[in-house]
Chain A
Amino acid sequence: MAGVLLLLIVLAPVAAIVVILLTRRPRLAERLNLAASAVSFGAALLLPGASLGGAHVFLDQYVIADPFGAWVILCAAIVYFLASIYGIGYMRMLDEEARLARFYALFAGFGLTTMVAPMMNNAGLYWIAIELTTLVSTFLVAFERAPESIEAAWKYIIVVSGGISLALFGTVLFYWAGTFVLGPSYAMTWAVLGAAAPHMNPTLIALAFLLVLVGYGTKVGLAPMHTWLPDAHSEGPAPVSALLSGALLNAAMIGVIRYLSIAEAAHAGPLPRAVLVVLGAFSLFIAALFIVRQSGIKRLMAYSSVEHMGVMALGFGFGGPFGVAGALYHMLNHTLNKSLMFFGAGSMMRTFGTKEITLIRRVGRYFPVVGGLWLAGAVAITGAPPFGLFASELTILRAGLSGINAWAAILMAILLIVIFIGFLNHFRIMYFVAPESETAPQGRVSAWCAAPMWLAFIPVLVLGLWWPEAIWHYFGVIAHGLVPGPAEVALR
């Protein structure tokens, strides 16, 4: 069952890419991409259920369907699907008909790579999958060919490639640490590493984990390695920004957490977890600073992604059932909510013809429905009740306050309040402050652009009001899998 679902998730975008590249017809391309994303989404929706009950490994152990991976794939598939709907409306506004087919081929490729990375059971292949996400998305960021887009793409690929090379170094060191236990050649799967970890050298593992954390942390967008993120998120087309924020960052986060559980199993001391917590708190701090003083609308959303990745890092860093459950719930909520925010920002940017917050005014008057939805999304993303992010942030805080990392939890609460005020202040200006000279927006927001905003908003509201019991149990299974249990196989 799980194997069939994985196959569907992968083959649908692959087939779409092939046909798009062969036909090169823009209208056909957008439909094919939408169909592929719908198939992937449908399969990903069933995957968490199918991944329960033992490890499902395929293709000589290179591919895995485990509960954690399935959850990240689901988040990626959701945003890929939503962004594909939105993309149809948004890309038609760009007037790039001739290059549209290429865009959708790359877009499907990007969606595919973000869903493939969490499936990788081999640490080396996971690194390659993450590298591929960068290569594909660089050209999506550069798609508009404006000097700013090229600049963003260049910074993106240089910073992230530099970071990811550290992750490769860390991976090699993990492999080396394993050779002391398992001999010179072995399959470097997560399970094998985890089982061999108790016999590995803790100092070497600590060093290797720090390298991996900085490396994949660059891709996650944890400060101070986040420098590529605001540029890439703000200069790419809006559907790409949504996919970057909602799918790519999570795909890198899963690697960090998988390595974290190996490092813990190796008794590498409190250092790995502490560094993750510090990076998470620092990300929140940097995000708060830049959100308060932000002038670009999409950069505002980008820094909000830095913030939420920080919150997630804190959740995983606090650990325990509450921390892990909160972080995973936050992942889903953030994925939905940030897609909504980027969709709204993209539509406003296009209709008002500017990226500057100060030039976008009286959104509520011109766009009563879409504007209202976007404003509600803004309230939700700052973590106000009754939305999903409130529930997940509260759970993470609860996990943090009871442990040795209480300082980080308190800091997180303070910074979240600062961000709440700073973020909503920008929306106050855009909605309620009359401009000196009235600039009316051009055109209207099409149904293609409005529908995915509803599709993202309703679950965020529902997930805030009702945390389903089944999801709670599911998180329990993942949290249990991340803790090195007593049932470890003794090697040698």
Chain B
Amino acid sequence: MIVTTFPPLAASLFSLIAIASLLLAFVMLGSRWLRHYIYAFAAESWLIAVLSAAVGFYGGFPELYVIAVLTVLFRGCILPYLILRIVRPLDVAREVDVGLQPSSSLVAGAFAVIFALVVASHLSVGLGLAGTVAVLALTVMLSLKLIGFLMLTVRHEAVSQVLGLLVLENGIFLGAQILVPGMPLLIEIVILFDLLIVVVCFGILVRYLSSHVGSTSALSLNRLVG
């Protein structure tokens, strides 16, 4: 199993990056400003790229360098740029009506991390991986998932929801770099391109929302019920 073969220094480096990206997710949870979300997402993507390169270096997977470069390019530059372009004409700088105040969201996020840790450590005991970097990878993966869903439920602005979805994906991508670094290159590249298309589609839909519905807040999407 690959995660047990990393040298201690590498494992600590991976842990550091994983924890840092988790913290960036909390930055998103704790802020109301859309711009903060986008910067935090971009920073998280850069961290994931560093992680890919580091795993590639220590694990001996040269193809991960390609992934690292593509991650920086797509997730770190193009996606944040596209989302900034979506936000700019909207005249919405921050979340107005949040379902849960940022402070309460932070607490909820903390509970999500604890839950993720319990699940991850339980799983890793069964797999004989207790105490390895795999526990942390699983924890971060699960917590980013839960935090992404939390953002989707408590934030109403269209752009926050898109970023919530991207956080979900970031979590998977981050964990996948540590747990399954040997995942075929083709799949990872296709998923990266797929994300790009997803964001473009979201951009078009947000434009429809603001021109045909007159608002980009999910609170105004209340016609279809029952």
Contact = CB atoms under 8 A, between A and B. Distances in A.
Interface of A: 122, 124-125, 128, 131-132, 135, 138-139, 142, 145-148, 150-155, 157-158, 161-162, 165-166, 168-169, 172, 175-176, 179-180, 183-188, 201, 203-204, 207, 230-231, 234-235, 290, 293-296, 299
B149 A203 contact: no
Given A135-B197, A154-B158, A147 B212 contact: yes
B194 A122 contact: no
B183 interface: yes
Contacts of A290: 226
B74 interface: no
Q: Which 5 A-B pairs have the closest CB atoms?
A: A184-B182, A185-B182, A124-B187, A165-B168, A151-B221
A128 B194 contact: yes
B219 to A, nearest CB: 12
Interface in B143-168: 145, 148-149, 152, 158, 161, 164-165, 168
B201 A128 contact: no
Contact of B176 (A153, A162, A172, A294): A172
Interface in B170-226: 171-172, 175-176, 179-184, 187, 190-191, 194, 197-198, 201-202, 204-205, 208-209, 212-214, 218, 221, 223-224, 226
Given A138-B205, A145-B208, A187-B184, A168 B224 contact: no
Interface string B105-127: 00000000000000100010011
Contacts of B213: 147, 150-151
A151 B224 contact: yes
Nearest to A185: B182
Contacts of A187: 184
Contacts of A186: 182
A369 B61 CA distance: 66
B95 interface: no
Given A162-B168, A180-B1, A169 B224 contact: no
A162 B226 contact: no
A230 B214 CA distance: 23
A155 B220 CA distance: 12
B43 interface: no
B2 interface: yes
Given A138-B205, A147-B212, A150-B209, A165 B172 contact: yes
Given A124-B187, A172-B176, A172-B179, 4 more contacts: A150-B212, A158-B165, A169-B171, A172-B172
